[in-house]
Amino acid sequence: MAQPAHGLNLQARSRARRRALQALYAWQLSGSHMNAVIEQFRHEQDMQVADLEYFEDLLHGVEKNVDALDTSLRPHLDREVAQVDPIERAVLRLAAYELKYRPDVPYRVVLNEAIEVTKRFGADHGHSYVNGVLDKLAAELRAVEKRG
């Protein structure tokens, strides 16, 4: 049975988040300009099934707001942002961007997606750490939505 377009859009966004995580990880390690990282990822096969516009919004949004995102995350971390595992740091920054600047995305979707990509790409128990940090951040940034 065919999936509704809405379901396809959600799948494309999930793929965009996974690719954005990988691109953000590469950006953090390489120090390259974000446009160069985006260009590199844009030519990969599975980008055709991802929401390319959302992928680019996530990456440019994190790049533009990285200091504000890190400031938002800092009170909820048990170490400096720079000391967080690079995969977990990338996940936290992506999710913090969505929580802070993309109110169109429900906070539960942000948290679930962050946990799933951390399970897939992060350390064994990294998803528990990410969940704890993002749950506190969501309570702060999306208090009204979280209560409702």
Domains defined for the chain, CATH in brackets: 5-147 (1.10.940.10)
Q: Are 115 and 131 in contact (CB under 8 A)?
A: yes
Q: What is the pLDDT of residue 46?
A: 63
| Distance in Å from the first CA to the final CA of the chain | 34
Is the pLDDT at 5 greater than 80, yes or no?
no
Is the pLDDT at 105 greater than 50, yes or no?
yes
Is the pLDDT at 147 greater than 90, yes or no?
no
**pLDDT tens track for 57-71:** 999 999 999 999 999
Distance of CA 72 to the CA centre of its chain: 14
Q: What is the pLDDT of residue 3?
A: 38
Is the pLDDT at 4 greater than 50, yes or no?
no
pTM of the entire predicted model: 0.90
Q: What is the pLDDT of residue 8?
A: 60
pLDDT band at 92 (very low <50, low <70, confident <90, very high): very high
